[in-house]
Amino acid sequence: METLERPLEGIKVVEMATFIAVPAAGRILADMGAEVVKIESAKGDNLRYTAPNEGRPLDPHEDTNFDLENSGKKGIVIDLRTDKGMGILFKLLEEADIFLTNWRPQALERKHLTYEELKEKFPKLVYASLTGYGEKGPDKDLPGFDYTAFFARSGWSGSLYQKGTVPSNLIPALGDHQAAMALTCGALAALFRAKMTGKGEKVSTNLLHTAIWVQGFQVQGAQYGNEFKGVSYPFDRRDNQLPYQPAVQTKDDRFLQVMGPNYSIYFPLFMKAIGREDLIEDPVFSNQRAMLDAGRNGELYDIIQEGFRQKTLEEWIPILTELDIPYAICQTYEEVAKDEQAWANDVFFEMDYPRGPKALVRTPIDFEQTALPPYDKAPLLGENTEEVLSGLGYTDQEIEAMIADNTVGIWKE
């Protein structure tokens, strides 16, 4: 295979963002070949210090999650509270094609970094912004994390749990990564327009909108209530309209997720799997509408659950495979990191660290005629400051002076 330049070779991106969502978008662009300069304060991106929350070592040389979001970038430390620091930012933007930020609207206004102000100086610039709750409305300046703006406010936490219990456990970055994909999509479309017309554009999204969009089926269906015998979230697993859809537990206490949206096709297959062929022609169970009208979906749920408890996971795999029933083992994260199918499709890259190699997740976009990008460790805090400043035309003496007066910072062990 001929190795060609990556799609965004020659594109320059300035990232002024912390935590996950916008840096993840920057990481995607870097993987596509863009030169991404990440701006941090002297304290650094807050994501550099979250390792204890995630069961990882607090070590800048083994910061797997920071590497996940920031591989392939150049890191520079600038004090944007100073005029000289803002001058460096504007020099970067003069050469940039895309500006990424997750600063809240009020902070951007204070620093005169709104789209309206920057488009006058940089008319070809693509300005890409991501916030928690959007840039309009009463809550536009609220701090937003995926736990709050994505999961809670959108209905996810209040709906997708077993009725009578509590909202399910959440994980960081799930919402951030989905919003990052949306922002990346918009930024690339705007970049194409800018290259075609010479006119920049503002692209924006937010965690709340992204979360509502990915749950659009449920949000729209909920507006009909029970008019068409639907279910209202949260609901009991036993009330599922597809009684075989909830995860099933095996004899050896593993869970399998099975699926089959067409009841008339999959009901008889499940009955064959659990040895209940006697129910295939049952006048109630064989017809989904009749089953629901009779209120017997909970009964069928119990039959299916009991059937799957009769065999081990190893015994179920060939049975489900032979019947062509869609299924997947409910794996733990430890198992996912060793998944043969994932490794075969370049989902992971093995990175060497002081405590041994770790599987790092790649961004989920592959190209046929360009090689996979290198998976480098993220820049240490201020690691590329001198290199970036030199590339902007600053002399060695000017750089040394700015380091001395803390306008910029460099990495120190």
Active-site amino acid positions:
176
Instruction: State the Cα–Cα distance between residues 413 and 270, nearest whole angstrom.
Output: 60
The conformation of residue 49, written as its DSSP 8-state character, comes to G
Question: Tokens for 213?
Answer: 């969009």
Query: 244: how many CB neighbours lie within 10 A of its CB?
Result: 25
